[in-house]
Amino acid sequence: MRLLPSVLSAPARIVIIAAFGTMERTLARRRALVIGGSVGGLFSAHLLRATGWDVAVYERAAGDLGDRGTGIGTREELFAVMRRIGLPAGISLGIDVAGRIGLDRDGGVLHDMPVRAVNSAWSRIWRPLQQALPDACHAGGKTLSRVEPQADGVIAVFDDGTRAEGDLLVGADGLHSTVRAQFLPGLVPGYAGYVAWRGVVEATELPPELHGLLLHRMVFGFPDGELMLSIPMPAPRGEAGRACHFVWFRPATEEALAGLCTDQSGRRHGVSIPPPLIRPELIATLKHDAGALLAPQLAALVNGTAQIILQPIFDLESPRIAFGRVALVGDAAFVARPHVASGVMKAAIDAESLADALAGSDVPAALEQYNRERQPYGAALVARDRHIGAYFAAREGDPRRRSETLMREYGAAGLVRDRPIEARAVPDASSAMPGATH
């Protein structure tokens, strides 16, 4: 006989609710808590929503992230994930790069390679993802304090004292991930021994005679033990047109890094410093060195940049990226140096792999599958970036051959043994090693 709740006594109703609580939770939409509102978190949110999850994204920053980031390399795999979400993607999100040029100190051409690419800007990926997510799914100004795993769920506790419950927690909180720090205590990003000086130069700030080169080609310079790159990118504020993003990798000891991150008043800022607080004499030295060490075309970029940024280079390799009902994606899982230029693509594929694994009902088993798929890939990507960093820092061997290898293999469009870097299979790191044959 089927009993209706209306004819049951209160104690009986309580017993039945307790007995069938697990079934009711299963039949309801599963809830995912995503910690971090950058690209990895947003890709995860969209792909989980598309497979039936109820999703809440918590971002520590209270404001808009759209003005952060600079130029990025892209691949078709990144655009495919965006189209799966339902967002337009392709060449319209970026600009075509016609090839690669290597310059000597005097500005002469060392190498000319027809490696074509599509470059975009970080904001052109992040902003459509953010705008397509319902406001009700996103909360800013929420700093995670800790994660409390439960037998059949997970709780996120925030600095403001609020709590959120879910069936899954996705740690997409970047380089200094709070989620990773809790589940992998003692694992911290390691300093690579060099920094990147970066800047964006708009077309109006470049001499017209350099437009054809710097706005349409990726340009390399090779000071001894260093690497200078000039990378075309879309105009930074979303308007039509092009700009140029430069990155100059230069060695710096940890002691020297502390000095670079000390402002004019003597205040130390740790391992990073807000760009406006970089001491003027450091910028003056950088511009002087550009004139002494770089091709004139590249030195013009350093001297034409309104705001130069200092980025210390770190990396980190996680032995696991899944812990019961908690998963790490993007830079929270692995921090790779920027030499493969695939961080945004990796975050997208991480999120896709996670969402596909979670098509089943067993969350811990799904996260184990995700760990098997993406942990080896992330580890190999970090290894490849380390090899490239060691390669340009090396001073032995034939400099011309070393520069040619760097130009062929660097970045998202780089070719390893004439093949592009894989987006899902474990990438080949060995050929970027100093002394490898090609």
Predicted confidence (pLDDT) per residue in 75-111, tens digit: 889 999 999 999 988 667 888 999 999 999 999 999 9
Q: Quick check: 173 pLDDT over 90?
A: yes
- In three-state secondary structure terms, 197 is strand
Residue predicted with more confidence, 150 or 420: 150
**pLDDT category of residue 397 using cuts at 50, 70 and 90:** confident
pLDDT(261) > 80:
yes
Identify each DSSP E strand in 12-153 by its residue range. Answer: 31-35, 54-58, 71-73, 94-97, 99-103, 109-113, 117-121, 138-139, 144-149
Amino acid at 419: R
pLDDT at residue 257, rounded to an integer: 96
Q: Looking up tokens 């504020």, which residue turns up?
A: 237
CA angle 379, 383, 71 (to 5 degrees): 95
More confident residue, 202 or 240: 202
**241 is written with which tokens?**
């047109």
The rounded distance, in Å, linking the Cα atoms of 274 and 412 is 28
Where do the domains of the chain lie, and which CATH numbers do they carry? 26-90+123-189+315-387 (3.50.50.60)
Largest CA distance in the chain: 92
Angle (CA) 210-216-220 rounded to 5° is 75
> Which residue type sits at 90?
G
Location of structure tokens 């929420």: 142
What's residue 212's pLDDT?
93
Residue 251 has pLDDT above 90, yes or no: yes
Is the per-residue pLDDT at 3 higher than 70? no
Q: Look up the pTM and report it.
A: 0.87
* CA dist 89 → 51, 151, 231 (Å): 21, 40, 21
Beta bridge partners, 202, equal 243
